[in-house]
């Protein structure tokens, strides 16, 4: 932080170094001084005595020499620059920008839901596993139905998390309700896990009166103070420095909680990403930076987004411990987030988790991904590497899930959702007063005037205004 | 960016051309070496009594009491003298003592004490966590402050120079001003964003920005500008206590103003303008540094027989149209003196607001004196010509009052 800290450390270093050269034992040359005494003199005591003196004289010479040499050699080996001691080398070697071997990806469960016998991990209980799986199914169905609703023109916009259900649910399952979530936009599963109902999701998407956001944000911009899920903001990456701020607040209060900031591969190009990692490291803030590397940022593949080995290598660049995990493996994600959370809170440090996955759906309802990527690529991930199916196999293998459970759950969720949509659609929109409230804590006179003007206009031209908006 | 600032520090001297004449009872000036000192005691003296705002202490609800009836005796000179940056620090310190959630973040605010020494000594007193040094990323530490605010803290974010906050525009506009609204009132953002702005002494264009023009359109934020040690402390305290995000504009050249302020605690209103000098002939609206140019011009005008009413609007968003309106109804002539550029500045908005609301009371079109639409040049003479000077103000009033 303040420059004088580094200076004092340098002073200590300097003193230690000089002391060291005085206290350092003489190099081995001195030890072999006996061998230097002329052999022709034999072993008479007088000669031995003379030899000993010589050797000690020689020793002294060697000592004084080595003193100077040590000094020289020390400076030749390392220097205390601001920022710390660095070892010197005369070999010019550039660190490769891309590693010969990419950082390994942590995975526990294969595609058939089988776990490696040698890998040790804390087992997930039946209760948690069943809830995880049910929520993954719920998320899937929610995505499908809301997407259709948008296509039917009932809502204006939607964004699916297809293919990323494991990241959503498994990471949420590893957190505590006190942990603050700063999402980007493809993480409704976290809110779902915490207890947000299908009705509440629908209310936000339809912007109805019961929406906690009072109809002010576009669909999928959920927010819930109750569940510590901060309201989604559209610009990419803005939640990252805010996450650091929230973590700083937790740190000040010494809370047993951390912040989890979700973002995609595209967001890592934003300046805020870099500054946030840096800040979090410097401030030792308890944040988990969870990157959903799903390969695509609308139409930009990761090969055009960055040239590094993914995002995991960026962590160490800022001094942050990082790990790469198979984002389609619910067990692995769960395990990693749980461990990361422990580290973040107990060691008060940020952690970077890169979850590799694939964005099966389009970026949003305003996108048609067939325009920029081959359909069979999408099919491969949708069918072959499906995180929901994989987890299902594992849960079934444990005897915790059956075919009937599946069909029962699916039809029940579907019914609930359609019901929720109906209710939300028919519900009144937020009243006119909500256009002007919450801009400030108390509306200033100018907003009050503007509201009066608007009301007058509506009164004068009622036919131009929607009838389902209460005035 | 930081490099340029170390040399300039807090002791910016005003040029020799600016001398306040010491005839008036209210203004006494003294030249102390290279520091220009302006003392203003706002206490009502015998005879003409300006409505003194707050020689009395005010405490609750950040509301300034108007015209206190009781005139205080000035015999023993109560209160204590300090410089504007010290007043800011005093306000900050009092609020940090009062509420443990208040914290400061910015570049070099910690042990260095801030580029203008507003946070000097606070890190030693409150610790490194409450007075936080951040790396150089304005958008990010502003975002950090917003995140902390949403979680319950009350951060004060210091921009080393207001111009650097242009980098924080995204966070300020899209998040700071917006999140209370878009979250449906669930999350509030009680941040204070402050820093020095305005034209300094040959600081170059990038360090002479008037951010109030750019920020004034953002819904959800409040903007205030301080100009004296008295209102600096009061506005700082009010801003910290406010539940809304507030941007407090300080001026690079005003940090060394000296004034005697009350010992008692007081908090000013964020939405009120300050009556600096009541008058009859013309309403001069101004804020921040231009207040001093206006008061200097007022001397000349008084000698020439005019009676200008000078109002320091202080609240840039929203405008205090009550005080301004009453003044317009009395004088029927308005002159706005600002440091912003002509296009899109505070003056432009103020002109529109007054015209809309008080057109019937105006005898003449509103005149707005502002800087030209040019980047502020480095050369001293050129720089001086971009800033409105007292002579121009005198001429404008003479023309207006014809």
Q: Which helix (DSSP H) or strand (DSSP E) does residue B83 occupy?
A: strand B80-83
**What per-residue confidence (pLDDT) applies to A468?**
72
The string over B326-349, giving b where at least 16 C-beta atoms fall within 10 Å of a residue's C-beta and e elsewhere, is bbbeebbbbbbbbbbbeeebbbbb
**What per-residue confidence (pLDDT) applies to B355?**
96
The answer for B 1-60 residues in CB contact with A (under 8 A) is none
* Closest approach of B148 to chain A, Cα-based (Å): 4
**What per-residue confidence (pLDDT) applies to B125?**
94
- For A247, the closest chain B residue by CA position comes to B148
Q: Which residues in chain B are closer than 8 Å to A221, comparing Cβ atoms?
A: 182
CB contact (8 A) between residue A242 and residue B183:
no
Cα gap B381→B370, rounded to integer Å = 17
Find the DSSP H helices in B333-379: 346-358
Cα gap B151→A180, rounded to integer Å = 9
Q: Which residues contact A142 (CB under 8 A, 6 or more apart)?
A: A188, A192, A198, A201, A413, A417
CB contact (8 A) between residue A252 and residue B149:
no
Cα gap B396→B286, rounded to integer Å = 14
CB contact (8 A) between residue B129 and residue A251:
yes
Q: Helix or strand or coil: residue A262?
A: strand
Cα gap B313→A4, rounded to integer Å = 43
Q: What is the pTM of this model?
A: 0.78
- For A281, the closest chain B residue by CA position comes to B135
At B22, list the tokens. 């010491």
The answer for A 425-444 residues in CB contact with B (under 8 A) is 437-441, 444
Residue of B107, B138, B250, B338 with catalytic role: B138
CB contact (8 A) between residue A2 and residue B143:
no
Cα gap B64→A106, rounded to integer Å = 62
Interface test with A, best of B137, B169, B181, B242 (most A CBs within 10 A): B181
CB contact (8 A) between residue B151 and residue A180:
yes
Neighbours of A60 (CB within 10 A): 12
Of B144, B182, B321, the CB nearest to A248: B144
Q: Any chain A CB within 8 A of the CB of B200?
A: no
Where are the extended beta strands (E) located within A228-341?
229-230, 259-264, 287-293, 296-297, 300-301, 321-326
Q: Any chain A CB within 8 A of the CB of B243?
A: yes
CB contact (8 A) between residue A223 and residue B134:
no
**What per-residue confidence (pLDDT) applies to A207?**
92
Q: Which helix (DSSP H) or strand (DSSP E) does residue B276 occupy?
A: strand B274-277
Interface test with A, best of B184, B223, B271, B323 (most A CBs within 10 A): B184
Q: Any chain B CB within 8 A of the CB of A221?
A: yes
The answer for A 228-247 residues in CB contact with B (under 8 A) is 230-231, 233-235, 238-247
Of A182, A276, A445, the CB nearest to B140: A276
CB contact (8 A) between residue A278 and residue B179:
no
Backbone phi, psi, residue B192, to 5° = -120, 125
User: Taking the alpha carbons of A69, A70, A73, A74 in that order, is the dihedral positive or negative?
Assistant: negative
Cα gap A244→A263, rounded to integer Å = 14
Q: Is B138 a catalytic residue?
A: yes
Q: Any chain B CB within 8 A of the CB of A452?
A: no
Q: Any chain A CB within 8 A of the CB of B269?
A: no
Of A182, A233, A440, the CB nearest to B174: A233
CB contact (8 A) between residue A440 and residue B188:
no
Of B133, B141, B180, the CB nearest to A438: B180
**Low-confidence residues of chain A: pLDDT under 50:** 1-43, 47-51
Q: Any chain B CB within 8 A of the CB of A224?
A: yes
Q: Which residues in chain B are closer than 8 Å to A439, comparing Cβ atoms?
A: 180-181, 219-220
* Closest approach of B378 to chain A, Cα-based (Å): 30
Of B110, B129, B187, the CB nearest to A252: B129
CB contact (8 A) between residue B111 and residue A252:
no
Of B147, B170, B180, the CB nearest to A246: B147
The answer for A 271-290 residues in CB contact with B (under 8 A) is 271-272, 274-276, 278-279, 282-283
- For B246, the closest chain A residue by CA position comes to A440
pLDDT in tens, chain B (402 residues): 444 333 343 344 444 433 333 333 333 333 333 333 333 443 333 333 333 343 333 333 333 333 343 444 445 688 999 999 999 999 999 999 999 999 999 999 988 888 899 999 999 999 988 999 988 889 999 999 999 999 999 999 999 999 999 999 999 999 999 999 999 999 999 999 999 999 999 988 889 999 999 999 999 999 999 999 999 999 999 999 999 999 999 999 999 999 999 999 999 999 999 999 999 999 999 999 999 999 999 999 999 999 999 999 999 999 999 999 999 999 999 999 999 999 999 999 999 999 999 999 999 999 999 999 999 999 989 999 999 999 999 999 999 998
Active site residues of A: 148, 234, 363-364
* Closest approach of A204 to chain B, Cα-based (Å): 11
Backbone phi, psi, residue B281, to 5° = -90, -40
At A297, list the tokens. 């940022």
Neighbours of A343 (CB within 10 A): 16
At A455, list the tokens. 């009301």
CB contact (8 A) between residue B220 and residue A440:
yes
Cα gap A37→A220, rounded to integer Å = 89
Q: Which helix (DSSP H) or strand (DSSP E) does residue A138 occupy?
A: helix A126-151
At A467, list the tokens. 């009838």
Q: Any chain A CB within 8 A of the CB of B99?
A: no
Q: Which residues contact A240 (CB under 8 A, 6 or more apart)?
A: A182, A261, A263, A267, A270, A272, A273, A276, A289, B140, B143
- CB-based contact B336:B366 (threshold 8 Å): yes
Nearest residue to B195 via CA among B145, B230, B236: B236
Give the strand pairing for A180-182 and A259-264: parallel
ipTM summary value? 0.72
Residue of B158, B180, B207, B339 with catalytic role: B207
Backbone phi, psi, residue B105, to 5° = -140, 145
Give the strand pairing for A300-301 and A296-297: antiparallel
Nearest residue to A173 via CA among A359, A385, A336: A336
Find the DSSP H helices in A347-374: none
At B289, list the tokens. 């540094």
Nearest residue to A201 via CA among A177, A220, A229, A182: A220
**Distances from the Cα of A223 to the Cαs of A40, A181, A190, A243, in angstroms?**
94, 10, 11, 15
**What per-residue confidence (pLDDT) applies to A336?**
97
Of B111, B147, B152, the CB nearest to A2: B111
**What per-residue confidence (pLDDT) applies to B29?**
37
Q: Helix or strand or coil: residue A428?
A: coil
Nearest residue to B281 via CA among B252, B307, B312, B251: B307
Of A271, A282, A439, the CB nearest to B220: A439
- For A180, the closest chain B residue by CA position comes to B151
Nearest residue to B390 via CA among B21, B18, B27, B31: B18
CB contact (8 A) between residue A238 and residue B170:
yes
Q: Any chain A CB within 8 A of the CB of B244?
A: yes
Cα gap A55→A31, rounded to integer Å = 9
CB contact (8 A) between residue A211 and residue B184:
yes
Q: Any chain A CB within 8 A of the CB of B150?
A: yes
Of A241, A251, A445, the CB nearest to B143: A241
**How confident is the model over A4-43, as pLDDT tens digits?**
444 444 444 444 444 444 444 444 444 444 344 444 444 4
**What per-residue confidence (pLDDT) applies to A317?**
96
CB contact (8 A) between residue B137 and residue A250:
no
CB contact (8 A) between residue B185 and residue A438:
yes
* Closest approach of B315 to chain A, Cα-based (Å): 12
């Amino acid at each position: 932080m303040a420059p004088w800290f580094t200076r004092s450390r340098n002073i200590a270093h300097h003193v230690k170094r000089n002391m060291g050269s005085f206290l350092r034992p003489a190099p081995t040359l001195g030890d072999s001084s006996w061998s230097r005494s002329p052999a022709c003199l034999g072993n008479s005591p007088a000669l031995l005595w003379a030899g000993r003196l010589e050797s000690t004289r020689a020793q002294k010479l060697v000592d004084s020499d080595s003193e100077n040499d040590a000094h020289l050699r020390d400076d030749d080996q390392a220097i205390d620059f601001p920022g710390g001691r660095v070892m010197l080398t005369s070999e010019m070697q550039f660190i490769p920008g891309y590693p010969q071997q990419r950082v390994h990806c942590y995975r526990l469960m294969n595609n058939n839901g089988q776990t490696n016998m040698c890998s040790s991990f804390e087992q997930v209980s039946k209760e948690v596993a069943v809830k995880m799986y049910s929520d993954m199914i719920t998320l899937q169905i929610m995505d499908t139905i809301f997407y259709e609703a948008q296509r039917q023109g009932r809502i204006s916009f939607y964004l699916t998390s297809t293919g990323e259900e494991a990241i959503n649910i498994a990471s949420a399952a590893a957190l505590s309700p006190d942990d603050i979530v700063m999402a980007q936009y493809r993480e409704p599963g976290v809110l779902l896990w915490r207890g947000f109902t299908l009705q509440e999701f629908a209310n936000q998407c339809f912007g109805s009166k019961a929406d906690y956001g009072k109809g002010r944000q576009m669909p999928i911009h959920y927010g819930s103070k109750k569940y510590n899920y901060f309201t989604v903001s559209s610009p990419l990456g803005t939640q990252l420095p805010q996450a650091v701020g929230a973590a700083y607040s937790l740190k000040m209060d010494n809370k047993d909680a951390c912040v989890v900031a979700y973002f995609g591969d595209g967001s890592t190009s934003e300046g805020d990403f870099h500054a946030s990692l840096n800040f979090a490291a410097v401030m030792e803030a308890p944040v988990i930076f969870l990157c959903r590397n799903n390969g695509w940022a609308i139409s930009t593949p990761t090969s055009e987004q960055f040239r590094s080995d993914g995002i995991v290598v960026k962590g160490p660049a800022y001094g942050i411990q990082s790990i790469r995990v198979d984002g389609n493996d619910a067990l692995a994600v769960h395990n990693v987030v749980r461990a990361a959370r422990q580290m973040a809170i107990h060691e008060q440090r940020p952690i970077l988790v890169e979850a590799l996955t694939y964005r099966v759906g389009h970026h949003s309802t305003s996108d048609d991904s067939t325009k920029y990527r081959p359909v069979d690529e999408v099919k491969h991930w949708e069918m072959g590497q499906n995180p929901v199916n994989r987890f299902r196999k594992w849960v079934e293998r444990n005897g915790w899930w059956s075919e009937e459970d599946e069909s029962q759950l699916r039809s029940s969720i579907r019914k609930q959702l359609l019901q929720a949509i109906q209710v939300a659609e028919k519900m009144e929109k937020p009243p006119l007063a909500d256009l002007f409230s919450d801009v400030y804590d108390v509306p200033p006179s100018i907003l009050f005037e503007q509201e009066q003007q608007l009301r007058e206009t509506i009164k004068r031209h009622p036919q131009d205004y929607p009838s389902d908006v209460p005035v | 960016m930081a490099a340029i600032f170390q040399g300039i520090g807090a002791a910016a001297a005003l040029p020799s051309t600016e001398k306040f004449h010491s005839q008036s009872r209210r203004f006494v000036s003294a030249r102390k070496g290279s520091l220009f000192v302006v003392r203003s005691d706002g206490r009502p003296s015998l005879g003409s009594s300006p409505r003194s705002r707050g020689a009395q202490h005010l405490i609750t609800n950040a509301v300034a009491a108007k015209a206190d009836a009781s005139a205080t005796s000035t015999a023993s000179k109560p209160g204590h003298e300090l410089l504007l940056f010290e007043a800011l620090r005093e306000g900050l310190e009092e609020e940090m003592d009062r509420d443990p959630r208040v914290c400061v973040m910015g570049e070099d605010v910690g042990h260095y004490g801030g580029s203008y020494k507003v946070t000097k000594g606070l890190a030693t007193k409150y610790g490194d966590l409450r007075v936080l040094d951040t790396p150089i990323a304005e958008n990010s530490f502003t975002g950090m402050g917003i995140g902390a605010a949403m979680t319950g803290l009350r951060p004060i974010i210091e921009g080393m120079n207001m111009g650097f906050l242009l980098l924080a525009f995204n966070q300020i506009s899209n998040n700071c001003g917006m999140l209370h609204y878009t979250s449906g009132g669930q999350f509030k953002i009680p941040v204070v964003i402050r820093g020095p702005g305005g034209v300094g002494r040959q600081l170059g264009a990038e360090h002479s920005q008037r951010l109030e023009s750019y920020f004034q359109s953002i819904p959800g934020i409040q903007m205030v500008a301080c100009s004296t040690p008295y209102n600096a402390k009061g506005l700082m305290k009010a801003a910290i206590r406010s539940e809304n995000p507030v941007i407090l504009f300080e001026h690079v050249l005003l940090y060394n103003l000296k004034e005697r302020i009350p010992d008692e605690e007081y908090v000013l209103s964020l939405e009120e303008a300050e009556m600096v000098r009541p008058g009859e002939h013309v309403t001069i609206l101004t804020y921040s540094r231009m207040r001093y140019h206006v008061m200097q011009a007022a001397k000349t005008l008084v000698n020439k027989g005019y009676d200008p009413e000078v109002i320091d609007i202080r609240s840039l968003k929203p405008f205090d149209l009550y005080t301004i309106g009453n003044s317009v109804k009395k004088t029927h002539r308005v002159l706005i003196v600002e440091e912003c550029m002509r296009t899109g500045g505070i003056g432009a908005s103020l002109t529109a607001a007054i015209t809309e609301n008080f057109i019937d009371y105006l005898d003449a079109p509103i005149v707005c004196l502002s800087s030209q639409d040019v980047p502020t040049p480095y050369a001293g003479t050129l720089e001086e010509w971009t800033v409105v000077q007292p002579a121009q103000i005198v001429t404008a009033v003479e023309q207006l009052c014809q």
